[in-house]
A and B are shown apart, each in its own frame.
Chain A
Amino acid sequence: MTQAVLFDEEPRLAIDGRSCRRVRESIALDEETAVKRIQAALRRSVPKAEVTVAALRDWEAGATSRSMPEIEAWAEALLLPFGAMADPASWARPQTDFRTGEGAASYSTHRKLRTFDAFCELAKEISLAEGSAEDVSLPVGDLTELLDARGTPDDVAIERFAMAIRGTIGLTRARQDQWADDEVALADAATAVEGVGVFVFTLSLDTAELRGASRWDVGMPPAVLLSSGDGAAPRLFTLAHELTHLCLRQGRREIALCTPFASRKTTNREELVANRVAGALLVPSADLEPLLADVPFAADYRSLPWSVRQGLRERFNVSNSVLGVRLAQMGFVGDPSLPKPSKRGGGGKGSLSLPVRYRRYLGPRALTGARAAVANGSLGVERIARLLDMRTDQVAATLET
């Protein structure tokens, strides 16, 4: 069945296809991958939907009229919210040509990208000489599989994906236990990553512009670029973050340029997922849970006792900011990015007055623990309500499975 017949009944809206093409190019997304993403998204609602590269080229040729499911799928492929499709031009980021550094915001970054390009060429030569160019095998990640129905990172899928990457690079708890300090941790993690065929490079980057980059062209070994301007702990996180990009962008002629760390503020879903996977990769929930079993729920990471925070820092060798985000995601501490609970309920976006929001705020660890404690009678619903400044019926609704 043709696309036109499938969506005949649907109303159509005018889309600026040329601007969508510029957005696609600005995120270095090739036509084939974009088509795959659009088709996968469309097939969730219309199993027989078919999109071809020729069709995409037609859409991108100029003004085009598309149905709502097609626009949703197109937005998903371009990692844009639905509303952005009304004016995609404003969402196109200036493209940096990683081969020439053209388009980089500063001369410094321009020069560093050219150097990284040279490094990648060197890596290619080395792998050709070793005959190891085809030997790299990293777990293949699909961004859509790592997102839930709302387009936000899916914790279970992310944890599973992070464990697959840990298994591939041979990162184990015993190995992490031997990391005496941040420098040792970074060196050992880089060794583990390089052990599977990824090249890790470090340059003095202008970290206000660029924190790290990764690239894996067809016929070339994957390569990661870190910034020597960062401390060892942030660099370790960037390494895990870039490794995730490589898994998500295998063999594509793309470069992931990661701008300064704004993990919780970014709306780019690949960046959000890469941050989440990196957190799970370095701080697996299975290792973290026993360490925090007896630690009471805190409003935020900084409210945890210093000894606990220091213990975690020494155990995992990641920065406090990464630990804070990770613990909030897992529900060990509150998320300071969400508003505080209101006594009257209601309020701004992410308000605690709503059961669905409570669940997100509390996280799986706190929810499971609270459910178990209420079930065995060691903690009452009233006590939880007092602790969290909630009404008892709200607590009951939150704990309901």
Chain B
Amino acid sequence: MADNPARCFYADTNAIIALVKTGPGRQLLEQLGDRNELRIPKAVQREATRRRETEAARWVRDHKRFVMPTTQDVAALAFSLASHHERLFTTSPSAADPELVAAAVLHRDRQPTPTILSDDTGVQAVCLEENVPYATVRAFQHIFGI
């Protein structure tokens, strides 16, 4: 496991769903996770495993080691972001999207800077407002050539 990963992605539920559907996507997620270059916020884990029978739910359950626990700071910021950007986040009761952005905002000064991996345009809009880098699944696939 690399101590100083070159990059770090925080994945959204929709990105995990899209990537675990294909063999190369699944493998890449696992490789990145094992090298500390992929992290899944706890609320994303809850959202992804909500429906037990899906492929993404099974994958997330089998890779609990990639899950980041929610800290008090992240929870408080997620709550504040969810309330502040109410129109940009989906109307879901899940804290997944706000927690994803909150974790990236709080870890912005870390090296490497976390990049949010999400296809949700609401999340992307909040990332722009909060000055957090993001990548779509397509861009992610392009970067890694899969």
Cβ–Cβ contact B82 & A72, under 8 A: no
What are the 3 tightest A-B residue pairs by CB atom distance, in nearest-first order?
A: A83-B82, A86-B83, A75-B93
* Cross-chain pairs A/B with CB under 8 angstroms, 6 sampled: A10-B75, A11-B76, A76-B93, A149-B54, A354-B137, A397-B138
Complex Cα distance, B96 from A149, in Å, reads 11
Cβ–Cβ contact A85 & B79, under 8 A: yes
Chain B window 89-107, contacts with chain A (Cβ cutoff 8 Å), 1 for yes, 0 for no: 1111111001100000000
B127 on interface, CB distance cutoff 8 Å: no
CB distance from A232 to the nearest CB of B (A): 32
Complex Cα distance, B14 from A148, in Å, reads 13
Taking a contact as CB atoms closer than 8 A, the residue among B46, B50, B86 that contacts A83 in the complex is B86
Complex Cα distance, B80 from A380, in Å, reads 48
Cβ–Cβ contact B49 & A44, under 8 A: yes
Cβ–Cβ contact B82 & A81, under 8 A: yes
CB distance from B24 to the nearest CB of A (A): 12
Complex Cα distance, B84 from A73, in Å, reads 20
A81: chain B residues within 8 A (beta carbon): 82, 86, 89-93
A68-B75 in contact given A44-B49, A86-B82, A149-B13 (Cβ < 8 Å)? yes
B81: chain A residues within 8 A (beta carbon): 83
Q: Among the interface residues B22, B84, B136, which one has the most CB atoms of the partner chain A within 10 A? A: B136
Cβ–Cβ contact B50 & A44, under 8 A: yes
Cβ–Cβ contact B122 & A354, under 8 A: no
Complex Cα distance, B103 from A275, in Å, reads 36
B88 on interface, CB distance cutoff 8 Å: yes
A356 on interface, CB distance cutoff 8 Å: yes
A9 on interface, CB distance cutoff 8 Å: yes
From B43, which residue of chain A is reached at the shortest CB distance? Answer: A68
B27: chain A residues within 8 A (beta carbon): none
A11-B70 in contact given A81-B86, A83-B89 (Cβ < 8 Å)? yes
Complex Cα distance, B14 from A9, in Å, reads 26
A344 on interface, CB distance cutoff 8 Å: no
Interface residues on chain A, size class: 35 or more
A394: chain B residues within 8 A (beta carbon): 138
A400 on interface, CB distance cutoff 8 Å: yes
From B88, which residue of chain A is reached at the shortest CB distance? Answer: A349
Cβ–Cβ contact B21 & A87, under 8 A: no
A13 on interface, CB distance cutoff 8 Å: yes
A82: chain B residues within 8 A (beta carbon): 79, 82, 89, 92-95, 98
B75: chain A residues within 8 A (beta carbon): 10-13, 68
Count contacts on B: residues with CB < 8 A to the other chain: 48
Q: In the complex, which residues 60-82 of chain A have their Cβ closer than 8 Å to any Cβ of chain B?
A: 68-69, 71-73, 75-76, 80-82
Taking a contact as CB atoms closer than 8 A, the residue among B47, B76, B119 that contacts A13 in the complex is B76
Complex Cα distance, B80 from A351, in Å, reads 26
A150-B138 in contact given A13-B79, A68-B70, A356-B14 (Cβ < 8 Å)? no
A252 on interface, CB distance cutoff 8 Å: no
Name A's B-contacting residues (CB within 8 A).
Answer: 9-13, 41, 44-45, 68-69, 71-73, 75-76, 80-87, 148-152, 267, 269, 347-351, 353-357, 394, 397, 400
Taking a contact as CB atoms closer than 8 A, the residue among A80, A148, A348 that contacts B121 in the complex is A348
CB distance from B4 to the nearest CB of A (A): 28
Cβ–Cβ contact B95 & A71, under 8 A: yes
Q: Among the interface residues B17, B84, B92, B136, which one has the most CB atoms of the partner chain A within 10 A? A: B92
Taking a contact as CB atoms closer than 8 A, the residue among B42, B93, B122 that contacts A80 in the complex is B93
Cβ–Cβ contact A351 & B70, under 8 A: no
Complex Cα distance, B50 from A142, in Å, reads 16
Cβ–Cβ contact A86 & B79, under 8 A: yes
Cβ–Cβ contact B119 & A87, under 8 A: no
Known contacts A150-B92, A350-B121, A400-B22; 14 additional CB pairs below 8 A are A11-B75, A11-B76, A44-B46, A45-B46, A68-B95, A72-B93, A83-B81, A83-B84, A87-B83, A149-B48, A349-B125, A354-B138, A357-B119, A357-B121
Cβ–Cβ contact A151 & B125, under 8 A: no
From B13, which residue of chain A is reached at the shortest CB distance? Answer: A149
Complex Cα distance, B143 from A378, in Å, reads 34
Complex Cα distance, B92 from A353, in Å, reads 22
Cβ–Cβ contact B46 & A72, under 8 A: yes
B112 on interface, CB distance cutoff 8 Å: no
From B52, which residue of chain A is reached at the shortest CB distance? Answer: A44
A80: chain B residues within 8 A (beta carbon): 93
Complex Cα distance, B83 from A71, in Å, reads 13
From B123, which residue of chain A is reached at the shortest CB distance? Answer: A349
